[in-house]
Amino acid sequence: MSEIAVAAARLAEAGVESPRADAELMAAHRHGVARSRLNLVSDAEFDPRFWDDVARREAREPLQHITGSSYFRYLELAVGPGVFVPRPETEVMTGWAIDRLNEMDVAEPVVADLGAGSGAIALAIAQEVPRARMHAVEADPLARSWTERNIARCAAAAPHISGRVTLHADDFASALPGLDGAVDLVISNPPYIPVGADVPPEVGEYEPPSALYSGADGLDAIRVVERVARRLLRPGGRVAVEHGAKQGTAVYWVFAEENGWTQTRNHCDLAGLDRFVTAVWP
């Protein structure tokens, strides 16, 4: 499709980071073919609505809002206005949690996902650790409508997920009181951008502020997650929390020995950037 080169040039001019890939993915979505088969779309089949999609992306609307879906580990999730688009760096933390759960000598490990958004973390764990019981906590009603939709969609595609993910409409600060001291793993990708920090238009103009910002240093929600994890975890339970690339040292000290934690570790994402902290409740 010669249109791809024109679209990619327009997106590059608009400051889009990966213009060629985005143009191809939008064309593949619009024409209902795999990206690798775009060369088989003839001029006669070309759908002019592709140019509407290009205009939206030029305005820096997230690619995933235009295609309506986002891939996370082995899942395809519905996303759009009002919910945070899952990121590849979160896949690494989720993979760490899946490995630890698979090692646990517990019949049905209980897991709390604090700030569920699209449901990416909870659903990936439910899919890959079928014996896990997931509790997904989300305060934002609009985000929760996407979580619900994805729970239904993923359960239809993978029936073993059905009934394994419970969504709780709650602030995670006070959530899941009935599970105090009974949770095997707490995982969270909370908001962690300092208020007032510069972000790309795709983030600042299209993603929900409650998914992004958290106090002057970006650590307010992480401090809450630390307190909640202390309350929820059983002895020997584990916590994993995502953070910004420059927050590794600060978050390490949130989970310090003085607060009772052991085996606190920093972990990197696939780009080699500091990305999440894990610790064990003694």
Ligand X SMILES: C[S@@+](CC[C@H](N)C(=O)[O-])C[C@H]1O[C@@H](n2cnc3c(N)ncnc32)[C@H](O)[C@@H]1O
Among 75, 211, 240, 254, binds ligand X (CB under 6 A): 211
Which of residues 241 and 279 has its CB atom nearest to ligand X in the complex?
A: 241
Among 173, 195, 203, 268, binds ligand X (CB under 6 A): 173
Whole-angstrom distance, CA of residue 43 vs CA of residue 62? 27
Among 16, 97, 116, 254, binds ligand X (CB under 6 A): 116
Q: Are 181 and 151 in contact (CB under 8 A)?
A: no
Rule CB under 6 A: is residue 189 a binding residue for ligand X? yes
Binding mask 70-109 for ligand X (x = CB under 6 A): --------------x-x---x-------------------
Whole-angstrom distance, CA of residue 69 vs CA of residue 271? 23
Q: What would the DSSP string read from start to end of 47-64?
A: -TTHHHHHHHHHTT--HH
CB atoms under 10 Å from CB of 216, counted, come to 10
Whole-angstrom distance, CA of residue 118 vs CA of residue 128? 17
Among 3, 91, 140, 226, binds ligand X (CB under 6 A): 140
Which of residues 15 and 209 has its CB atom nearest to ligand X in the complex?
A: 209
Rule CB under 6 A: is residue 129 a binding residue for ligand X? no
Whole-angstrom distance, CA of residue 230 vs CA of residue 234? 9
What is the residue type of 165?
V
**Which range, of 20-28, 46-54, 102-110, 184-192, touches ligand X by CB under 6 A?**
184-192
CB of 137 to ligand X, least distance (A): 5
CB of 136 to ligand X, least distance (A): 8
Residues numbered 260 to 279 that lie near ligand X (CB under 6 A) are: none
CB of 63 to ligand X, least distance (A): 15
CB of 142 to ligand X, least distance (A): 9
Rule CB under 6 A: is residue 117 a binding residue for ligand X? yes
CB of 248 to ligand X, least distance (A): 17
CB of 23 to ligand X, least distance (A): 25
CB of 232 to ligand X, least distance (A): 14
Q: Are 18 and 35 in contact (CB under 8 A)?
A: no
Which of residues 4 and 225 has its CB atom nearest to ligand X in the complex?
A: 225
Two tokens, residue 19: 């213009």
Give residues with Cβ within 8 angstroms of 56, minimum separation 6.
Answer: 65, 66
Q: Per-residue b/e over 228-241, b at no fewer than 16 CB within 10 Å?
A: bbbbbbeeebbbbb
Give residues with Cβ within 8 angstroms of 269, minimum separation 6.
Answer: 88, 89, 92, 275, 276
Binding site for ligand X (CB under 6 A): 84, 86, 90, 115-118, 120-121, 137-140, 143, 171-173, 189-191, 210-211, 221
